[in-house]
């Protein structure tokens, strides 16, 4: 029995299974993307607070990190280790 010309029944089932998998993946993708973007934005907000605290203690420590897109991006993507790496780089340089 041929549903699609030139394909046997198991090839048709394989095509249907792959098609359903692709459809479910496409429909689930926006939720995963929004979840990731939300997590990065929350981490960026936390990084801004930590950078502000580091800049408030700059008189005592001598380390001052600017609050800009690069430092917020590093803090948002890498979290606390990224902020510590920025602080260490600012201290060494």
Give pLDDT, residue 92.
85
Domain map (residue ranges) of the chain: 30-92
Dist CA 60 CA 66 (whole Å): 16
Per-residue confidence (pLDDT) for residue 50, from 0 to 100: 87
Write the pLDDT tens digit of every residue in 7-36: 676 777 788 888 888 888 777 777 777 888
Mean pLDDT of all residues in the chain?
Answer: 82
Are 47 and 76 a contacting pair, CB within 8 Å? yes
Predicted local distance difference test score (pLDDT) of residue 54: 86
Structure tokens at 67: 């609050």
Q: What percentage of the chain reaches a pLDDT higher than 90?
A: 0
Q: What pLDDT is stored for residue 80 in this prediction?
A: 86
């Amino acid at each position: 029995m041929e549903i699609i010309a030139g394909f046997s029944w198991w090839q048709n089932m394989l095509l249907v299974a792959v098609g359903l998998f692709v459809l479910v993946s496409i429909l689930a993708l926006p939720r995963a993307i929004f979840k990731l973007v939300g997590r990065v934005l929350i981490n960026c907000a936390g990084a801004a607070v930590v950078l502000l605290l580091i800049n408030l203690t700059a008189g005592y420590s001598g380390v001052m990190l600017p609050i800009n897109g690069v430092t917020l991006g590093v803090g948002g993507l890498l979290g606390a280790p990224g902020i510590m790496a920025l602080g260490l780089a600012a201290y060494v340089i």
